[in-house]
Structures are given as C-alpha cells and as structure tokens.
Amino acid sequence: MKIQYNIKVFLFAAVAVLAVQHTDAQQLPFFIQNENTLNPSFIGGDYFKYGMPTQAGMRYRYQWAGVEGAPNTMNAYFSHFNEDYNVLVGANFINDQTGPTGLTGVYGKTAYVIRASRDVMIAAGLTGGIVQYRINGDKLNFLEPGEIENGGITKIFPDFGGGATVYLDEQYYFGVNVPQLFGLNLDFRDEDNTVSVNRVRHYYATAGGFIDLYGDSFLESSAEMRYVENTPVMVSGRVIYNYESIFWAGLNGSSFGAAGIDAGVMWDGGNSTFKFGYSVTNFFREYGPNFGMTHEMGLSVSW
C-alpha cells in the first residue's frame, strides 16, 4: 500500500511536575519518535508507507539531564494490524523513575478499524494494564520519622485508556486519546506521615502525515496537543526529512520553549525494516526554570 501525505502544522505537548510530599505524577511518558505509546488506535506509519503491519521496538528517554532526580523512562512495545479482520492488537511495557517516585506498567491494547469508504479509515481502541507505583521514602524529608522514611512502599492498580484515529483520503491522520480514563489518587501512609500521588486525566490530540518527494525520499510531520485541567494547553511539532529509506533528519519544537533535532538510520532486512533513532531537545526560554537537555534513543523493526 502506498500513501501520500500533505504537510501540516501540528500539535503536541508534554509536562511533568514533581513536588515533595504531594506529587502530580506524569502520565504515560511522551516519546518523540513513537506515538504507539499513548494512542491504542494508532497504526504505525510503516504500514502506510511500506505495507508492513507489524512493529516492535524499544525506547529510552532521559529527561532534563543535569537535574537531580530527573525522569528516565524505558518503553518496549509491539503492534500488529490484521488487515483481514480489521483488528489492531499490541502491548506496551513502561518503566519510569522520577525522583523518589516510580512506576512500572504492562499494558495490552486492541482496536477495531472501520473502512468507511475507499479513502476513509476510522480506528477506535482501548488499552488496559496493571501498574505498580513506588515511593522511595529514603529520598523524602519528613518532620516525623516513620516506615515510609525508612524504605520503599509500592501499590498496584489497574489502568485503562482509550483513543480514536481517523485516516482521511490517504493523506492525513487525526487522533484523540485519553491515556487514563480514570483519575487516580494514591496515599502512601504510616502512623506518622502521608505521601499523596495524584494522577489527573490528560487529553491528547494528534495529527500527522507525509508527502513523497523524489525516489523513495519523503517529508514527514507529526504533532500533538495536550490539555490538563488548570494548566496551559501545550503544543509541539516535528518535521522530518527521510532520504531514500537510508536515514532521516529533522527538527522538533514546542510552545513550552523547547527545540531539538532528530536523526536516525534505517536499513532493509529483506522482508523487514530496521531503524535506530536519536533525538535531543533543549529549553530556550528567557524566563522560568531551565530543566536542561532531554535525550532519547530507540531501536525498532517492522515487517
């Protein structure tokens, strides 16, 4: 299947806030080079460009380098689109550590694709899994000593999300999703102290596409917008030039004062395509905190 995409200006965002004793924990972490993490209805771009319905890969993200306790996240994922049954299935494993708090989650996802017409596909999906939340009391300061201060405490909870994506006229895709359909408030207590972790519902909108140039080269763009109650709407975008299925290079930026570069290589494995990518992002605001650079790298295979 060969699809041509026009270029648009797109949206996207990511923010995480950490505070001692009361924490608004970050959502499923955002990865610049992998949209499979958030939206269960997202069909990987290699299906549209190369006709490869199956993808698997790993990503690592080190956010705000130089900040003590900065987030670092690992994600492994698998996704397969069955054209005969119009069903998308997949799985995600995520491990995230941010200061004294951390989470490890295992998720499964499924989506159904409706072919409304020759030029319109609509996918709607759900994701569900089990997440372990952790608090390392040794890294917190309390007025009173207690069990939390003397070690780690964990809790395990179910987690669910949903999303939908429209693929229009073989030129565009537009998606919306909520990684956590239910907000979650966690209290880690002992007789003397309490640590509360509040995860609030986030709302995402995504869009993207690509346009063929010459030979096998093409220009690709993707973006996301995120809304969280009582916080500013944040947008971000990415534009990538792919050269002859050999390498890619591009730029990314956000309304939060961040800008960065992306680069990667790909090689043909016969009936499969391998990719290795790296991105670096920095903040360039004249006011407010400077969180430092963010590094991300990943390896994937499609077939």
Spans of all domains in the chain: 22-226
Model-level pTM? Answer: 0.79
Question: CA-to-CA distance for 219 and 213, rounded, in angstroms?
Answer: 7
For residue range 229-263, list pLDDT tens digits in order: 888 898 999 999 999 989 999 999 988 888 999 99
- pLDDT for residue 52: 93
Task: Take residue 211 and report the two structure tokens written for it.
Answer: 């346009």
CA angle 11, 17, 22 (to 5 degrees): 145
Considering only residues 210 and 276, tell me which one the structure prediction assigns the higher pLDDT. 276
Nearest alpha carbon to residue 107 among 118, 93, 126, 117? 93
- pLDDT for residue 293: 87
Answer whether residue 267 shows pLDDT above 90: yes
Confidence class for position 287, pLDDT limits 50, 70, 90: low
- pLDDT for residue 20: 29
Answer whether residue 141 shows pLDDT above 80: no
- pLDDT for residue 197: 63
Show Cβ contacts of residue 117 under 8 Å, excluding neighbours closer than 6 positions: none
Answer whether residue 302 shows pLDDT above 80: yes
For residue range 71-104, list pLDDT tens digits in order: 899 999 999 999 999 999 999 999 999 888 888 9
Answer whether residue 268 shows pLDDT above 60: yes
Q: Mean pLDDT of all residues in the chain?
A: 80
β 152-168/194-199 pair status: unpaired
Percent of the chain with pLDDT over 70: 75
For residue range 184-235, list pLDDT tens digits in order: 666 655 555 565 666 778 899 999 998 899 888 999 999 899 998 888 898 9
- pLDDT for residue 195: 59
- pLDDT for residue 230: 81
Q: How confident is the model over 149-171, as a mean pLDDT?
A: 83
- pLDDT for residue 189: 58
For the chain, give the DSSP string.
Answer: ----------------B--SSEEE---SPPBTTBGGGT-TTPPPHHHHHH---EEEEEEEEE-STTSTT--EEEEEEEEEEETTTTEEEEEEEEEEEETTEEEEEEEEEEEEEEEEETTEEEEEEEEEEEEEEEEEGGGS--SS--TTTTSEEEEEEEEEEEEEEEEETTTEEEEEEES-SS-EEEEEE-SS-EEEEEE--EEEEEEEEEEE-STT-EEEEEEEEEEETTS--EEEEEEEEEETTTEEEEEEEETTSEEEEEEEEEEE-SS-EEEEEEEEEEE--SSS-----EEEEEEEEE-
Task: Take residue 38 and report the two structure tokens written for it.
Answer: 């958030």
Answer whether residue 16 shows pLDDT above 50: no
Confidence class for position 289, pLDDT limits 50, 70, 90: low
